[in-house]
Structures are given as C-alpha cells and as structure tokens.
Amino acid sequence: MQKTPLLKVGLYVWLAVLSLTLPFLFVTPSQAFETFFPAHRFTSIRSDAPVLPLDRSTRIYGRLFHAGQTDYFTVHGQSGDELRLEMAVPQLDGLEKFRPSIAVIGPGLPMDARDGAYFTVPNGLGAHVIEPAARERDFDDAVSGARFWLTQAFQFRLPAEADYYIAVFDKSGERGKYVLHLGLPEETGILTAFQRPIQFFEIRAWYHPTQLLAVTALAVMAVAVFFAGWLGRKRKAG
C-alpha cells in the first residue's frame, strides 16, 4: 500500500483549514449584527439601562411574560438621525394572536399619544405608537433557520438630540416572544451561522429550547457511540 507523503498530507490539511477560515475573514459591517437578550430586566424606564446604537444592526430577543408587561429600551440619537424599527414574532404554537405594539417616546413627538394604560411617558416628552400592520409577511431567518411573522416596519427622522425610549407591549394582554430589530438593515445568510456559532445557539435556545436540547442530546449520543466503537477497536487491536 503506497503511503501518502507527509508533506502532501500537510498541504491537504492546510487547504482544508484555509477553506473553512476564509469566509470568517470577509464579514462586512452590513453583515454584522448584535444580539441582545434582555429577559425580564427592563420593564420600566431606567437610567442605568444600556443605550443601544442606531448606526449598527441590533436584534433584541425579548419576551412578554405576563399580561400588562411593558419592555423598555433606550437609544440615543442626534437631530435628523434615522430610527429604523422592525418587529417580528416567531411562528410557534400559541403565538398566532400575539401581536405586540411599539411606542417611541421622546422629545418632539406628539403629546396626544401619552397612553398611560400601556406605557409611561415622562413629563415633557411625547410618543408615537406603531401598531401591528394589517398585512404581515412570513420570513425565514437565514442565521438560525427560524420562521417569523414580520408584523411592523417603521422608520423616521429623530426631531431632536436626546435619549429616546422604545416600549413594547400587547394591548390584548397576550404573552409571547418577539424580536425587535433596531438600526441598519443587515445582510445575512447561512454562512453567518458558521461565522457566529455562539449567536446561532443563543437564538435557537431562545426560539425553541426543547428542540435545541434534543438535538444536543443526539449529538452527544453520536459522539459517545463513536468513541465507544473506537475504544473497542483499539482494545481488540491491542
């Protein structure tokens, strides 16, 4: 049996590693996005809340745990900066009727939208409410493979330099998960999941934790079976 020269084996290994790592070297800013999992921490306007950027793409993976809950997020912008918002709801059983509303709260906004029943508007500020659209569309998230309903898309120019607060609430008292996308549009694909494996598993765990646990358990079992077989062959050979 002819043996493959060690140099040739090394070359094959190097080419394989290069083919896997090259895509990671060409992630453009438009493809990059930040993920934010607030859990249950920001249910009021707080001065210590993180200020989310408008010049990058940020996905907030949130959840309304109970009726009457309102989540608040803070952004800071200059006069004339564009605020882009998109709301999506995962296509999961039990979320067919969950359609949260969004309120943008800050200076220079209408004072007649100060609805104290669902969200808080500090003195001197106004608000603009974005309701779920009459027509929504389905989309597949290329990063995680999850399916969503896109329920709202909104953009406008900020009237003043200030902190603005974004409130997420459900007028019907429904509970459920949502994704609030802030900032610049993003270009993602299946390759992004390989470029950002931690984000992929975080999103899948948020989207469907039981499903992720089942897949992980199967992977662990497969590795265990392979290792047991390898160990058995090694003992026989010895």
DSSP-assigned states of every residue in 140-189: E-TTT--EEEEEEEEEEE-SSSEEEEEEEE-TT---EEEEEEESS-----
What string of pLDDT tens digits covers the 238 residues of the chain? 444 454 454 455 445 544 544 444 444 433 456 888 887 789 999 988 999 989 888 999 999 999 999 999 999 999 999 999 999 999 999 999 999 999 999 999 998 766 678 999 999 999 999 999 989 999 888 777 789 999 999 999 999 999 999 999 999 999 999 999 998 876 555 555 455 566 777 777 877 765 444 445 444 555 555 556 656 666 666 6
Q: Work out the angle at residue 49's Cα, subtended by the Cα atoms of residues 102 and 132, and round it to the nearest 5 degrees.
A: 10
**Which CATH number, 3.20.20.70, 3.10.20.590, 2.60.120.380, 2.60.40.1180, labels domain 29-189?**
2.60.120.380
Check if the beta carbon of residue 87 is closer than 8 Å to that of residue 99.
Answer: no
Residues 6+ apart with CB under 8 A from 66: 175
Token digits of residue 118: 């669902």
**Residue 102 and residue 154 in contact, taking contact as beta carbons nearer than 8 Å:** yes
Could you tell me which of 80, 104, 69, 81 has the C-alpha nearest to residue 178?
Answer: 69
Within a 10 A sphere around the Cβ of 125, how many other Cβ atoms? Answer: 19
The answer to whether the CB of 102 falls within 8 A of the CB of 118 is: no
Query: Of the candidates 125, 151, 153, 148, which has an alpha carbon nearest to the alpha carbon of residue 138?
Result: 148
| pLDDT value of residue 41 | 82
